[in-house]
Structure 1
Amino acid sequence: MSRTRTLVVVAHPDLRGSRVTAHLADAIRDLEHVTVHDITAAYPDGRVDVAREQQLLRDHDTVVWQFPWHWYSVPGVLKSWMDQVLTHGFAYGAGGTALQGKTLRLVTSTGGPADSYAAGGYNRFTVAELLAPLDATAHLTGMRLAEPLVLYGARTVSDEDLALHTKRYREVLAA
């Protein structure tokens, strides 16, 4: 029986300057069935090799979008990648079945604490509500959206809590 192949698309505008996203990406690089793909480093000019990216998606069973939460959405680099790669005829629409049956998992971190992402909280909405557009994207492309893995309070997370979150991330990818 073959192991599920996982593509982790890391989207951070400054991965070298990142504590959380860089740490999480580094912590999974040694997993045999995981391909870690830093799209900011791969395409510093923003011009994506669409054929290459679409082939990477075809070659993997699970797709992870790993990113810091920016302005209630994905960072611009991931949005641009999505716009260029998830095209009609490939990801959706007539003949667009390349992603059907795959799993999409979101791995993200927020600056604010968990209680700020509640109906009465500072941000007014839950993370699940704010992730609705990505849920719709998974649905349109025929992917199953797995339970998101969210690290709240990334700016102030302790080393111990980051280590626990990292352990959980590795467990999720290894499952």
Structure 2
Amino acid sequence: MQKPRILINLFHPHIHESRGNRILAGSVRDLQNVTFRNLYTEYPDFKINAKNEQQLLVDHDLIVFQHPFYWYNCPSLMKEWLDRVLEQGFAYPPGVGDKLNGKHWLTVLTTGGPEDAYRSGGFNNYTISELLRPFQQTANLCGMKWLPPLIVHSVLPEGIEGFKNITNDEIRKYAEEYKSFLDQYTIE
């Protein structure tokens, strides 16, 4: 078993205002086998260099997509990135675009709502697993192995009321779990 080369693509348009994603990112950005990238810093104009991004994907084994959950989806730059980078002939169809075949996909996600809001009959009506299906299917189409996501619930900006808001210390516990997972992850 070997240590994987890990690419972390952070998609957060206001990372300096973030509690959750900022703490999570801080715990993993300096790991030895990690290439950490803040895509909103890389592409403030949304003009994505698809060939460069594709080469980074080819050069890594585990691809991490870290982002907040905006309107049951990802931030707009991540959607643009997916549309531009995972193009036909590179990422799909099977047998033709197979550059990502066998790589691993990990979603690291923060939500504003509590865990029990994401269930049938809950505030959001659906489970996180159901809401993440488009990302899982993207991984499947690209021949990637979908890993169970790391979800940090109840991460609201300070001063916002309505749901329980977890503390920075609680977020740091998730950050340690994230770091430990990446540090111990191996590819067979």
Give the TM-score taking structure 2 as reference length. Answer: 0.90
1-side partners of 2:19 and 2:170: how far apart?
13
Q: How many residues align?
A: 175
Compute the displacement of 1:55 (Å). 0.5
What is the DSSP-based 3-state SS (H/G/I as helix, E as strand, rest coil) of the residue aligned with 1:47?
coil
Structure 2 spans left out of the alignment, 5+ residues: 157-164
The aligned counterpart of 2:97 is 96
Q: How does 1:82-121 map to 2 (within 5 A)?
A: 82-93=82-93, 95-121=96-122
Deviations 1:113-143 (A, max 9, x none): 0010010100000000000001100100000
Which residue of structure 2 lines up, in the alignment, with residue 30 of structure 1? Answer: 30
1:25, distance to aligned residue in structure 2 (A):
1.0
Q: Does the CA contact (< 8 Å) of 2:89 and 2:96 recur in 1?
A: yes
- Residue deviations 1:26-79 (CA, integer Å, cap 9, x gap): 211110001111111000000001111000000000000000000001111100
Cα distance in 2 for residues equivalent to 1:33 and 1:124: 39
Larger relative contact order (C-alpha < 8 A, sep ≥ 6)?
A: 2
1:80 matches 2:80: yes
- The root-mean-square deviation of aligned C-alpha atoms, in Å, is 1.0
Tell me how far apart the structure 1 counterparts of residues 143 and 78 of structure 2 sit (CA, whole Å). 19
Q: TM-score normalised to the size of structure 1?
A: 0.97
Corresponding position: 1:122 with 2:123: yes
Task: Specify every segment of 5 or more residues in structure 1 that has no aligned partner in the other structure, as ranges.
Answer: none
**Residue identity in the other structure for 1:53:** E
The C-alpha deviation readout for 1:119-172, integer Å capped at 9, x for no partner, is 010000000000000110010000000010000001121122111101100011
Between the aligned residues of both structures, percent identity stands at 39
TM-superposed deviation, 1:8: 0.4
AA at the equivalent of 1:119: S
